[in-house]
């Protein structure tokens, strides 16, 4: 009888683990529903559909949060006991979760078109993870990562990346909407296409192990495709893009959230580096690009205080996010350094 009890007990544990593993897929499916609901909302301009879409977005984020917490608690059950932010798969999961979290902070004020783009990006990343070659196993930390500083440093860094992503979307739309300078839509579209092309290229580099020439060709192809898609639908997009003041406030709020988080991430990272490698700063590529990113956004805040134009602020938010892409994806996947373990 005791043997039957153990058999039932372990079957329940296995069922729970299988369900929790599927929870990320459930979250992905809800994001898919969210995307379609926002498309319908924008097409019909019905407020109640927009409200349902936002509720679905929150539910999808909650499901992903439960999955993230489960991986965290599961690491303790396995005897490792660490936050699940130590390989590429886990980092991308938390990056999308961070985007959802920051969005939910002021979800009522986020324009519907921005919500659609955010939902599409999260859906795309999670779908990519489902077919990617990334290691999805929960594994023990390498010696350099065994520190309590990991949690604070990683959490704050990813939250800053998420906030800057939102600022980037706001900046691109601000350029597309603005009539301040001739060619603003072209510059906004080009910036958006370049950033999307870079992200896609970096991710495929990990999957296909492509070389430099192929990287450049694919980057060009991806950027041109995205640019043409936006350009051919420019009139519809401009009618859907919110007013400049709304976009400016959204972009500013996102940067105000991101800069403090990035500052804490850099400081805690320096302390952690002293603990792990014996020096507060070693000009590792990740450290260098984090500092570059910080300077760009501090310059953004300085220009905002000086009451510079929306055009200038939008360009700065885009430049900052390009630095974020290099810091987060480019350094981990391409540049060798102390942070290269993040691409595992």
pLDDT in tens, 97-107: 999 999 998 88
Enter the tokens of residue 309. 């134009």
Tell me the CA distances in angstroms from 193 to 215, 220, 248, 259, 310, one per residue in order. 15, 10, 21, 25, 20
In this structure, the answer to whether residues 65 and 130 fall within a common structural domain is yes
Burial of 116 (0-12, 13-18, 19+ CB in 10 A): buried
What CA–CA distance (Å, rounded) separates 315 from 180? 13
Range 186-199 average pLDDT: 81
Q: For residue 292, is pLDDT > 80?
A: yes
pLDDT of residue 144: 64
CA angle 249, 164, 56 (to 5 degrees): 80
Enter the tokens of residue 42. 């924008």
Give the chain's mean pLDDT: 81
In this structure, the answer to whether residues 126 and 165 fall within a common structural domain is no
Q: 123 versus 134: which is more confidently predicted? A: 123
Domain total in the chain: 2
In this structure, the answer to whether residues 196 and 265 fall within a common structural domain is yes
Residue 53: pLDDT band (50, 70, 90) is very high
Q: For residue 263, is pLDDT > 90?
A: yes
In this structure, the answer to whether residues 164 and 293 fall within a common structural domain is yes
Last residue of a domain, one of 114, 138, 162: 138
Q: For residue 308, is pLDDT > 60?
A: yes
Q: For residue 343, is pLDDT > 60?
A: no
Enter the tokens of residue 146. 């065994």
| Helix or strand (DSSP H, E) at 205 | helix 184-208
Q: Which residues of 292-317 are buried (b: 16+ CB within 10 A; e: fewer)?
A: ebbebbeebeeebeeeeebbebbbbb
Q: What is the pLDDT of residues 67-103, one digit of tens each?
A: 999 988 888 887 777 788 877 788 889 999 999 999 9
Compute, in degrees rounded to 10, the torsion defined by CA atoms 169, 52, 102, 124.
-60
Compute, in degrees rounded to 10, the torsion defined by CA atoms 65, 71, 72, 73.
110
Flag whether 147 is in a domain. no
In this structure, the answer to whether residues 128 and 162 fall within a common structural domain is no
Domain that holds residue 120: 1-138
Which one, of 228, 255, 244, lies nearest residue 163 by Cα? 255
- List, in order, residues 6 or more apart from 152 with CB less than 8 Å away: 264, 268
In this structure, the answer to whether residues 301 and 207 fall within a common structural domain is yes
Flag whether 143 is in a domain. no
In this structure, the answer to whether residues 134 and 159 fall within a common structural domain is no
**Contact 168/322 with Cβ under 8 angstroms?**
no
pLDDT of residue 81: 75
pLDDT of residue 341: 47
Residue 37: pLDDT band (50, 70, 90) is very high
Q: For residue 179, is pLDDT > 60?
A: yes
In this structure, the answer to whether residues 62 and 171 fall within a common structural domain is no
- pTM comes to 0.84
Residue 2 has phi, psi (to 5 degrees) of -65, -35
What CA–CA distance (Å, rounded) separates 217 from 228? 17
In this structure, the answer to whether residues 224 and 87 fall within a common structural domain is no
Burial of 158 (0-12, 13-18, 19+ CB in 10 A): buried
What CA–CA distance (Å, rounded) separates 263 from 180? 32
Other Cβ atoms less than 10 A from the Cβ of 335: the count is 15
In this structure, the answer to whether residues 253 and 131 fall within a common structural domain is no
In this structure, the answer to whether residues 110 and 202 fall within a common structural domain is no
pLDDT of residue 5: 43
Last residue of a domain, one of 83, 112, 138: 138
Flag whether 124 is in a domain. yes
Enter the tokens of residue 287. 């450290």
Residue 15: pLDDT band (50, 70, 90) is very low
Last residue of a domain, one of 138, 171, 192: 138
Flag whether 167 is in a domain. yes
End-to-end, the C-alpha distance of the chain in Å comes to 45
In this structure, the answer to whether residues 12 and 120 fall within a common structural domain is yes
């Amino acid at each position: 009888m005791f043997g039957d009890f153990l058999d039932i007990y372990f079957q329940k544990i296995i069922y729970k683990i299988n369900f929790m593993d599927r929870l990320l897929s459930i979250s992905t499916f809800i994001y898919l529903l969210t995307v379609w609901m926002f498309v319908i909302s924008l097409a019909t301009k019905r407020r109640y559909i927009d409200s349902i879409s936002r509720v679905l977005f929150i539910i999808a984020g909650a499901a992903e949060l439960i999955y993230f917490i489960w991986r965290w608690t599961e690491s303790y059950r396995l005897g490792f006991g660490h936050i699940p932010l130590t390989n590429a798969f886990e980092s991308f999961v938390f990056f999308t979760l961070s985007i959802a979290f920051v969005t939910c902070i002021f979800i009522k004020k986020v324009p519907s078109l921005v919500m659609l783009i955010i939902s599409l990006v999260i859906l795309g990343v999670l779908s990519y993870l489902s077919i990617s070659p990334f290691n999805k196993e929960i594994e023990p930390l390498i010696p350099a990562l065994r520190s309590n500083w990991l949690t604070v440093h990683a959490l704050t860094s990813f939250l800053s990346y998420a906030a800057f992503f939102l600022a980037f979307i706001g900046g691109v739309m601000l350029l597309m909407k603005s009539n301040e300078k001739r060619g603003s839509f072209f510059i906004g579209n080009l910036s958006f296409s370049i950033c999307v092309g870079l992200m896609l290229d970096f991710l495929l580099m990990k999957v296909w192990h492509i070389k430099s020439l192929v990287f450049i060709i694919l980057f060009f192809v991806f950027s041109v495709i995205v640019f043409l898609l936006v350009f051919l639908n420019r009139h519809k997009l401009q009618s859907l893009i919110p007013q400049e003041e709304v976009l400016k406030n959204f972009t500013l709020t996102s940067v105000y959230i991101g800069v403090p988080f990035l500052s804490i991430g850099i400081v805690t990272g320096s302390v952690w580096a002293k603990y792990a490698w014996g020096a507060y700063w070693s000009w590792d590529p990740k450290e260098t690009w984090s500092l570059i990113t910080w300077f760009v956004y501090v310059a953004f805040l300085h220009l905002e205080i000086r009451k510079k134009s929306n055009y200038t602020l939008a360009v700065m938010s885009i430049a900052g996010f390009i630095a974020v892409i290099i810091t987060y994806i480019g350094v981990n996947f391409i540049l060798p350094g102390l942070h290269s373990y993040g691409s595992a």
